[in-house]
Amino acid sequence: MDVHFRGVRGSTPAPGLAYVRYGGHTSCVAITRSGEPPRLILDAGTGLRTVTALLDGAPFDGTILLGHLHWDHVHGLPFFRSGGMPGARVDVVLPAPDGDALGTLSRGLSPPHFPIEPQQLGAGWRFSAVRPGWQCIEGYDVLAREIPHKGGQTFGFRITDGSYTIAYLSDHWPTSVGPGTDGLGEIHPVALELAADVDLLIHDAQFLAAEFPAVNYLGHAAVDYAIALAAAAGSRRLALFHHAPERTDAELDDVARTVRGAAVDTFVAAEGMSVELGALARPR
């Protein structure tokens, strides 16, 4: 199983010379099997536009799994060229507490907020609600569990192909369930369940510990919390993700230096980076 980071920013895109190396696109991660095109995409931020390059111009045939519906996780949907091609199949699975996936997505993707509605994205697009618990999606076993985040129902995911496993908690507000031992949030049972013994944990690391408590109201996690969760869960590797839009390349370089020697092998995710799990971790 290979993991392709196509967008790693949070909240809003970050264009400009100060954001070139880590990238300015918002959250999007494509999952592939070796030598195959992506069939499972996690979140649809502006990074979704770049997934077409992984498909060599072919129509997409797979599922986009949305953790929640904030702008930075759905803005790429209307601009996914491979999703609008003849013959494309795009199953969008999203949080919809009332079960009406299309209606829920349409609240933000329709006039006057946007000129078209979801059902106009293409003939092959279908919309359904996330089901909590284990399910099979595009040949992967996926566990969906609700996690705390501000401003609407949010899911984290645990995904396995039978040999390797990743966890994806792109937006996580751990202080909402308690301050924890260091004031950066409680390492709670759902987060531990999703991250337990995974080969790669992709986790919200939008803020630095020194920026709390001033940023706590925004509903995100700190770099130090992500490392503590990974260590407590026995995760083999940690990708710091969902970087603050104002965090420059130089500042993310500083983060990368700071986390060297952490309790868990940790790196700062960058747009365009691919991680081949088979080359980095032991199969179960």
> How many distinct structural domains can be found in the chain?
1
State the alpha helices, DSSP H only, in 60-167. Answer: 101-106
**CATH code of the domain containing 229:** 3.60.15.10
Mean pLDDT, range 228-253, rounded to an integer: 98
Is residue 187 a part of any domain in this protein?
yes
Task: Decide if pLDDT at 284 tops 70.
Answer: no
Q: Is the peptide bond before 78 cis (omega within 30 degrees of 0)?
A: no
Residue 81 lies in a domain: yes
Q: Is 160 helix (H, G, I), strand (E, B) or coil?
A: strand
183-196 per-position pLDDT tens digit? 999 999 999 999 99
Which residue's entry shows tokens 């979704």?
48
- Are 168 and 29 in contact, with CB atoms under 8 Å apart? yes
Q: Is residue 282 part of a domain?
A: no
In a domain, 163, yes or no: yes
Residue 279 lies in a domain: no
Q: Is residue 283 part of a domain?
A: no
Res. 283: pLDDT tops 50:
no
What is the pTM for the complete model shown?
0.96
pLDDT value at 93 more than 90 = yes
The pLDDT-based confidence of 243 (bands split at 50, 70, 90) is very high
Q: Is residue 23 part of a domain?
A: yes
168-177 pLDDT, tens digit per residue, is 999 999 999 9
- Residues 236/3, Cβ–Cβ less than 8 Å: no
Asked if 163 and 1 touch (Cβ cutoff 8 Å), the reply is yes
In this predicted structure, the answer to whether residue 279 has a pLDDT above a threshold of 80 is no
Q: Which domain does 141 fall in, by range?
A: 2-273
What is the predicted pLDDT for the residue at 15?
96
Q: Examine residue 67 and state whether it is found in any structural domain, yes or no.
A: yes
